[in-house]
Amino acid sequence: MKGNCTYLRLLRSTLFLLFPCYSYTLTMKGTGMPSLSHNKAKDYLPLARKAMTFFDSSPDPFHVVQTSVKMLTDVGFEELNTCEPYKGKLKPGGKYFFTKNKSTLVAFAVGKKYKAGNGFKIIGGHTDTPNLKVKPRSKKSSSGCIQLAAECYGGGLWHTWFDRDLGISGRVLVQKNDGVIEQRLIKINRALVRIPNLCIHLQTAEERKAFSINKEEHLVPILATEVINQLGIDKSQIEKKDENKDGWTEHQESLLLELVASEINTEVENIVDFELNLFDIQPASLGGIYSEFIHSSRMDNHATCFMATQGLVKYVEEKNDFEMDEDISLIVLFDHEEIGSSRLALVHQ
């Protein structure tokens, strides 16, 4: 099959992105580092920094898809309507994508020499990662603190979530004046909540050594204290909104709804549902004495999402390979790998 050379280069770049210390070392001017023999590694720094921007922009599946779609449309990919037949729309040399639930992405480029019956080149990944999700009923408080009810998603390393500055991201469903419900993405990149460790003198040596986590009791982030009046906030207004008995609003933390409404420029009454996640707001960085590592959250599997999308973008930009390609080059980024192969968006992966 022709056109494979670019995908081999993609594989090499992916290996460097994930395991750069095995590939090259790198020279950083003006940092006092020793002189290195392989300056070629500098060629990969733009790719590494682009990956870091991707990770920082994509704390949840919805933002992964949004960021990836932007990369695709910037080079001319056309969105397909999955409710309409594709017959007559697809043609050799065409570049297309579609999404499911705004959290799953399928994108493909038809080689200019493609003929019916030819093959596919496919890269797969998943947009979801183990994280803490805000529960459908978010209201919770304890010991004078306003908390958020959260649940574990996927098989996470939950001990790493303690003492982190956590922001909130995801999507919010908003009802407009005409009754139509629209989806709006939200990403609050500041330290809104935190899951604190218990101070050392309240634990025995055996308890510290075991560090056993009760997911329902210990992984409950703190949003605020309950001394609202001391902060100059009109609690009567918040309590009045709490009286709204519609089967949903009364089970939500009022402060959270106020914050979300403010961020997406709407009224609390217009919010009909949300799907929110917590994420570590610390940005991705280059690490190691030679900057040979990328430090970031959600590397599994957002590194694959980035490299798959970036590889497809670079592939269609390299005219010679694309024009000679006889196959379809395709990426598919599923949204539920962390909890099994059955999903709402694309059933039975």
pLDDT above 50 (res 15): no
pLDDT band per the 50, 70, 90 thresholds, residue 338 = confident
pLDDT above 50 (res 37): no
Q: What is the CATH number of the domain that holds 231?
A: 2.30.250.10
pLDDT above 80 (res 169): yes
Max avg pLDDT among 67-81, 206-220, 237-251: 67-81
One domain for residues 179 and 320: no
3-state helix, strand, coil in the chain (%, to 5): 35, 25, 40
> Tens digits of per-residue pLDDT, 38-66?
556 677 889 999 999 999 999 999 999 99
- Residue with the bigger pLDDT between 319 and 154: it is 154
One domain for residues 135 and 197: yes
Cis omega (within 30 of 0) for bond into 301: yes
pLDDT above 60 (res 131): yes
One domain for residues 334 and 205: no
pLDDT above 90 (res 221): yes
pLDDT band per the 50, 70, 90 thresholds, residue 244 = low
One domain for residues 12 and 32: yes
Taking only Cα atoms into account, the Rg of the chain, rounded to an integer number of angstroms, comes to 24
- Residue with the bigger pLDDT between 155 and 98: it is 98
Mean pLDDT, residues 316-335 taken together: 93
One domain for residues 97 and 137: no
One domain for residues 269 and 303: no
DSSP of 107-168, one letter per residue? Answer: EEEE-TT--TT--EEEEEEES--SEEEEEEEEEEEETTEEEEEEEEESS--GGGGTT--EEE
pLDDT above 70 (res 27): no
- Domain containing 48 equals 4-128+298-339
Domain assignment present for residue 348? The answer is no
Tally the domains of the chain: 2
By DSSP bridging, strand 271-280 and strand 95-100 are: unpaired
- Site of tokens 């055996």: 206
